[in-house]
């Protein structure tokens, strides 16, 4: 069963899937015990009896319980877009610099509790926290471009200089008057055929790309804060825009080599491993033993595997191209089904369904 802290009550999920309520897509998935298939709540297929349904908070849980993705509603295929009701909330957030009240969300047909739960699950923060951080990121960009402090403060929903100054200082660690050389890590979310991705970049390049359901994702953000000593706020920059375009081309089978700048500081050993990963050609694989020899560390395949697992820029730094000596997949933080999908994609095999956890074993 899914964690009830991140999913609605069973009664609410039952009502949603029986009513084919698309506003719950992305909030939970249902597995049909009689067929071994899992679906979106809005799936057009005939609805199973409630006694034959298991509920999951994300794709990973469903796959690891042995369910296969439905070919009708295609729960792995997000078509590059979040659910329409989430898109409406994001559009509302981008249309105003003022705090969005629950009453405004309701007038737009958005349930405040549901959007709060969706953002906590997929973005690691509430919708209001997302909006607040986004305003701070916008404010920093405006100050860098020479916009006056009055215009920045009032234009981002603050009624006074002191309120803006306090919020800015809490976010970035210094007041807005000292922001000329201030950097921050901006975070955005992309949809992909393998589920949502979270990406982060500073002014030098991309420093994070991970699946949002990966375990210990919060630790990655803590690592970024420690490495770059700056705030992490929702937003976009030129590097994230380029990354999104290149990922679309990659998943379409049209891109073999990424050009987006990367920033991936680590220990000297980790950086040697990650640099070697970047040298593995598209469509090919290497074993952990091969990788160890290539960095002049023969016999240290365990350490290589550990460094491989700490890679913060999935897909672009292709840790999925490293397999066991016998050719089996080995480990992958995003799940072996994703690793198999990526390898099949690069080898020209277009799989409609990912392997089930039983096949992974």
What are the residue ranges spanned by the domains of the chain? 10-69, 84-178, 185-251, 268-360
Distance (Å) of CA 237 to CA 255, 270, 286: 21, 27, 33
pLDDT, residue 355, reads 41
Report the distance separating Cα 188 and Cα 234, nearest Å. Answer: 6
Domain 268-360, what architecture? Orthogonal Bundle (1.10)
Q: Is the pLDDT of residue 138 over 70?
A: no
Question: What sign results for the dihedral spanned by CA atoms 227, 233, 236, 237?
Answer: negative
pLDDT, residue 291, reads 92
* Least confident residue range of 117-121, 263-267, 349-353: 349-353
Section 240-255 average pLDDT: 94
pLDDT, residue 241, reads 93
Select the more confidently predicted residue: 360 or 97: 97
pLDDT, residue 179, reads 46
pLDDT, residue 178, reads 52
pLDDT, residue 146, reads 60
* Least confident residue range of 77-91, 225-239, 246-260: 77-91
What topology is assigned to 84-178 in CATH? Arc Repressor Mutant, subunit A (1.10.10)
Q: At what angle do helices 127-144 and 161-172 cross, to 10 degrees?
A: 100
Section 131-158 average pLDDT: 62
Q: Is the pLDDT of residue 297 over 90?
A: no
Section 104-129 average pLDDT: 80
Select the more confidently predicted residue: 184 or 162: 184
Identify the three-state secondary structure at position 210.
strand
Max avg pLDDT among 107-111, 146-150, 172-176, 343-347? 343-347
**Is-same-fold flag (84-178; 268-360)?**
yes
Torsion angle (degrees, nearest 10) of CA 55, 57, 62, 63: 180
Q: Is the pLDDT of residue 346 over 90?
A: yes
Q: What are the respective helix, strand and coil percentages of the chain, to the nearest 5?
A: 45, 10, 45
Class of the CATH-defined domain 10-69: alpha beta
Select the more confidently predicted residue: 337 or 279: 279
Q: Is 319 a catalytic residue?
A: yes
* Least confident residue range of 235-244, 296-305, 330-339: 330-339
Section 141-151 average pLDDT: 60
Q: Is the pLDDT of residue 59 over 80?
A: no
The structure's pTM equals 0.61
Section 70-83 average pLDDT: 69
Select the more confidently predicted residue: 119 or 260: 260
Residues 6 or more apart in contact with residue 127 via CB below 8 angstroms: 89, 93, 100, 112, 115, 116, 118, 119
pLDDT, residue 298, reads 84
Structure tokens at 41: 């709540």
């Amino acid at each position: 069963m899914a964690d009830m802290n991140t999913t609605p009550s069973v009664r609410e999920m039952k009502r949603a899937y029986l009513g084919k309520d698309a506003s719950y897509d992305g909030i939970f998935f249902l597995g049909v015990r009689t067929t071994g298939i899992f679906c979106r709540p809005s799936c057009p297929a005939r609805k199973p009896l409630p006694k034959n349904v298991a509920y999951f908070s994300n794709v990973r849980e469903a796959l690891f319980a042995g369910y296969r993705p439905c070919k009708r509603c295609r729960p792995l295929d997000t078509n590059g877009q979040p659910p329409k009701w989430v898109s409406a909330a994001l559009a509302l957030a981008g249309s105003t610099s003022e705090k969005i009240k629950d009453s405004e969300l309701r007038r737009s047909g958005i349930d405040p509790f549901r959007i709060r739960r969706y953002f906590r699950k997929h973005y690691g923060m509430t919708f209001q926290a997302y909006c607040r951080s986004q305003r701070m990121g916008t404010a920093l960009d405006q100050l860098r471009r020479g916009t006056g402090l009055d215009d920045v403060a009032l234009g981002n929903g603050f009624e006074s200089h002191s309120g803006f100054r306090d919020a800015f200082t809490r976010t970035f660690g210094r007041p807005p008057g000292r922001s000329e050389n201030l950097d921050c890590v901006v975070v955005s979310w992309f949809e992909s055929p393998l589920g949502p991705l979270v990406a982060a970049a500073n002014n030098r390049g991309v420093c994070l790309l991970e699946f949002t359901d990966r375990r210990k994702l919060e630790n990655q953000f803590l690592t970024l804060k420690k490495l770059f000593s700056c705030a992490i706020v929702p937003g976009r920059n030129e590097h994230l825009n380029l990354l999104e375009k290149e990922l679309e081309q990659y998943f379409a089978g049209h891109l073999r080599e990424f050009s987006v700048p990367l920033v991936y500081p680590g220990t000297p050993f980790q950086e040697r491993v990650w640099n070697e990963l970047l040298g593995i050609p598209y469509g090919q694989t290497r074993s952990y033993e091969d990788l160890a020899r290539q960095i002049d560390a023969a016999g240290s395949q365990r350490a290589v595997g550990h460094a491989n697992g700490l890679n913060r820029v999935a897909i672009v730094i292709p840790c999925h191209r490293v397999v066991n000596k016998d050719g089996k997949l080995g480990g992958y933080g995003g799940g072996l089904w994703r690793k198999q999908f990526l390898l099949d994609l690069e080898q020209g095999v277009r799989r409609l369904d990912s392997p089930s956890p039983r096949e992974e074993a």
